[in-house]
Amino acid sequence: MQPMPHQLMGYDRAITMFSPDGRLLQVEYAKKTVRQGSTAIGVVCSDGVLLVADKRIVDKLVIPESVEKIFKIDDHIGASASGILSDARVLIEKAQLKAQQHSVTYDSPVDVISIVKDVCTLKQICTQSGGLRPFGVSLIFAGVDEEGPKLFETDPTGIFFQFKATVIGEGEVEIDEILEKEYYDKITIEDGLKLCIKALKSFLGKNFNINRIDAAFISKKDKKFTKIENGRLDKIAKKK
């Protein structure tokens, strides 16, 4: 007798139900949602940390500046997301609140790992509570704290890892190969930006448009979140 797919047996109907081989199917579906989301890249540089993201604007009537893909968490921390961006907004606002509360309570900037753990705790709760669904979004947190530039990736399960460079979203496999080949430890923010744009151009091909790109960095020198203007991005994109 042919074994029935897990979906037909109902193991994906509740977040709290394990399949016989130990899988939470709703969580796996959430991870698939992330892989269909628009691309976001994070890179640790010698002089700071960098975030570059594809806003995936396909409607010519949309005002590009109105679409935000990289978010300021605090002066020294930024984040980008891939997946369901409405889910991301809730988690971003939670992270912003955590940063503000820490600043008011302790009169010092929050470290990056505290923000990451706080967001991941909420993500994990949503994988074990009936009546909820997992957050269908992965987040990249980038920041500069007392220990230097930091880059973390979180996924819908609530797990997180620290990276030198990482990518989430639809171009993950192709862009990750480029990062593995061309990333080096002493890369500067300027060269990291060139690498990210090159990777996005390679993946998007004829669909690449500078208006689709959102980019920001936090420098190690002043620890300030800074958005990168389209003019600077355009100059880099036009260089061969």
Residue 103, domain CATH: 3.60.20.10
The answer to the question of residue 211 being in a domain is yes
- Whether residue 5 has pLDDT greater than 80: no
Q: What digits encode the pLDDT tens for the residues 56-78?
A: 987 889 888 888 999 999 999 99
- Whether residue 216 has pLDDT greater than 80: yes
Instruction: Give Cα 111 distance to the centre of its chain.
Output: 18
The answer to the question of residue 12 being in a domain is no
Contacts of 60 (CB under 8 A, 6+ apart): none
Question: Six-digit token pair at 173?
Answer: 């496999």
Q: How many domains does the chain contain in total? A: 1
pLDDT at residue number 7: 57
The answer to the question of residue 1 being in a domain is no
Q: What digits encode the pLDDT tens for the residues 199-210?
A: 999 999 999 989
The domain of 61 spans 25-238
Cα distance between the two ends of the chain: 59
